[in-house]
Amino acid sequence: MNGPYDIVAMGAGHNGLVAAAYLAKAGKKVLVLERKAWPGGGVATRELTVPGYWHDEHSSVHIMIQGNPMLTQDELGLLSKFGLKYIYSDIPYASIYEDQTSIVSYKDLDRTCQSIAKVSAKDAETYRKFALRSSQMLPLIVAGLYSPPVPMGPFMAMLDSSDEGRDLFDAMQRSCLDIANLLFESDKVKIHLLKLVSENLQMPDELGTGMGMFLMPGIIHTYGVSQPVGGSGKLTEALVKCIEHYGGEIRCNAEVRQVLTSGGRATGVETVDGEGFMAKDGVIGAIHPLKLKEFVDGVPAPVLARAERVTLGTFTLFVSHYALKRRATFYAGEEVGRAVMCEYLLTSKLSEMLQDYDELRRGRVPKRPLIGGDDTSINDPSRVPPGAGLFHGICFAPYELADGGPSRWDEIKEATADELLGYYRQFCGNLTDDNIVARKIYSPLDLERSSPNSMVRGDVHGAAPFFYQSGGHRPTPELGQYKVPGVERLYLVGPFMHPGGGVYGAGRATAIKMCGDLKIDFDRLTRR
């Protein structure tokens, strides 16, 4: 039996690393165990195709983390000490339609409204008011994103005590489509906004998801949309440096088989090789609620029963990585190439786009696939050889195929990638055979294989963003405070926990909870 350590973390995804980094800074002897040969989980940058081309394996765009005090106050020194640097394009987001017209969301609100006004002057003015309202409400929203959530009852009472809170409560119950239809008149404008919030792996018409419509304009025009210089994995690298700086240790190729318990308390972990690691103060587990019973004994049956009812996202992703000899060019013009997130829209009719989402519900990739893509090297040439390109294509896709289930993805993956390449070529002028060096494809099934304890059924965001499993109820009321009833000193991290999927740096909230239990003054810990 190895140790004892103070803290042992199961999984080196970015959330687990964040939690471990805070505890290491607090002076705890920390060990992080990772199943893969490299740390980072969904936040990793690797030479997936050929040497010299650094692709973001999963997450690429860091949006929600920009409001995290971990960065805004540089609480861990990631920016000042450990080499993390972000690129902020002046164009966070753009939509290109089938006729090669576009709507561009600039960080600058005035320029965004000018772009929308080319489609609808009325919608441009409406958007201005909407975005300003979102920005005004942002402090209220952001305040609760990076710390343990308020229990649902008090949270509802707090919202009901102000006009701003009641607006948020209203949005939380609605669908994004409902909000878009209430506010805007142009189908193109509605599609521009709805496709963006759908990046949260939610259907436009799913009730209990409207919060995204309120949140995204404020985030875009306040913080912008960013990517680390050198790739998404540079966040992971900075966190690893931080942990090691404070005496912590990361071990890769160390897959955890189970959490060890004694007397109703987590005492360590055991790997698949039979090696044990003791933890005096606590275990951090990147354990999906659907996997909880596989790793932990002693969890009360009602807690497990509710955990096994957690709802996953209605759809997931099919991802294409291309190494290019020359940077991608766009028929819609050079400007859209600077967009950190760029959607390719095969219809300008909202009714047709909604039909395409319905196809996803039924286990089919739509005939008009819901796609987007960018050449990351345009904003960050450090990732590729001089003049080369790095195309990253995303397509919404079902995990469970109507014809053959998830296993059929292995059969049709390459053919699907070929078909999608044809659609990407309708928007990008040089995704030609002679310009493509190599490619790497991830189907929804591949995503699950990549991270089986977090991306269950290919859900890269861990769990659906519905109201009934948000805040203090994410993923369930019993697990919503990052702790596991019946197993003391076991703490949860992952995209399935509050505040949700994506790169939030949400392990900070887990660290706050742990510091409280260990009598560590978190405010003092984070003072620079």
CATH code at position 253 = 3.50.50.60
Residues 421 and 486 in one domain: no
Residues 336 and 440 in one domain: yes
Q: What is the pLDDT of residue 454?
A: 87
Q: Spell out the residues 6+ positions from residue 226 whose beta carbon is closer than 8 angstroms to its own.
A: 61, 62, 63, 66, 86, 87, 88, 340
User: One-letter amino acid identity for 309?
Assistant: R
Please check whether residue 384 lies inside any domain of the structure.
Answer: yes
The total number of structural domains in the chain stands at: 2
Q: What is the pLDDT of residue 140?
A: 79
Q: What is the pLDDT of residue 242?
A: 98
Domain boundary among 410, 440, 455: 455
305-313 mean pLDDT? 96
Residues 273 and 380 in one domain: no
Residues 422 and 500 in one domain: no
Q: What is the pLDDT of residue 453?
A: 87
Please check whether residue 224 lies inside any domain of the structure.
Answer: no
Mean pLDDT of the chain, nearest integer: 96
Residue 6 reports pLDDT greater than 70: yes
pLDDT in tens, 428-453: 999 999 999 999 999 999 999 999 98
Residue 151 reports pLDDT greater than 70: yes
- Dmax (CA) for the chain in angstroms is 69
Domain boundary among 414, 436, 455: 455
Distance CA 170, CA 159 (A): 10
Please check whether residue 186 lies inside any domain of the structure.
Answer: no
pLDDT in tens, 340-371: 999 999 999 999 999 999 999 999 999 999 99
SS3 26: coil
Q: What is the pLDDT of residue 214?
A: 85
Q: What is the pLDDT of residue 155?
A: 86
pLDDT in tens, 132-146: 999 988 887 887 899
Distance CA 306, CA 147 (A): 23
Q: For residue 322, what is the enclosing H or E element?
A: strand 316-324
pLDDT in tens, 72-92: 999 999 999 999 999 999 999
Q: Considering only CA atoms, which of 464, 478, 498 is closest in space to residue 207?
A: 464
Please, which pLDDT band fits residue 457 given cuts at 50, 70 and 90?
Answer: very high
Domain span at residue 402 reads 314-455
Residues 318 and 410 in one domain: yes
Residues 428 and 330 in one domain: yes
Please check whether residue 141 lies inside any domain of the structure.
Answer: no
* CB-based contact 67:86 (threshold 8 Å): no
Residue 156 reports pLDDT greater than 90: no
Residue 528 reports pLDDT greater than 70: no
Please, which pLDDT band fits residue 402 given cuts at 50, 70 and 90?
Answer: very high
Q: Among 19-28, 154-163, 289-298, 489-498, which stretch is predicted with the lowest mean pLDDT? A: 154-163
Residues 451 and 468 in one domain: no
Please check whether residue 126 lies inside any domain of the structure.
Answer: no
Q: Considering only CA atoms, which of 417, 506, 418, 502 is closest in space to residue 462?
A: 502
User: One-letter amino acid identity for 156?
Assistant: M
Alpha helices in 308-371 (DSSP H): 350-361
Residue 3 reports pLDDT greater than 90: no
Q: What is the pLDDT of residue 84?
A: 98
Q: Spell out the residues 6+ positions from residue 137 whose beta carbon is closer than 8 angstroms to its own.
A: 164, 167, 168, 214, 218
Residues 436 and 351 in one domain: yes
Enumerate the β-bridge partners of residue 32: 9, 250
Q: What is the pLDDT of residue 458?
A: 95
Q: Spell out the residues 6+ positions from residue 114 whose beta carbon is closer than 8 angstroms to its own.
A: 124
Please check whether residue 222 lies inside any domain of the structure.
Answer: no
Residues 429 and 339 in one domain: yes
pTM across the whole model:
0.96
184-212 mean pLDDT? 95
- Compute φ and ψ for 5, nearest 5 degrees: -95, 165
Q: Considering only CA atoms, which of 319, 324, 339 is closest in space to residue 429?
A: 324
Residues 289 and 385 in one domain: no
Domain boundary among 430, 455, 480: 455
Cα-based torsion angle of the residue sequence 260, 263, 265, 267 in order, rounded to the nearest 10 degrees: -40
pLDDT in tens, 224-282: 899 999 999 999 999 999 999 999 999 999 999 999 999 999 999 999 999 999 999 99
Residues 327 and 449 in one domain: yes
Residue 1 reports pLDDT greater than 80: no
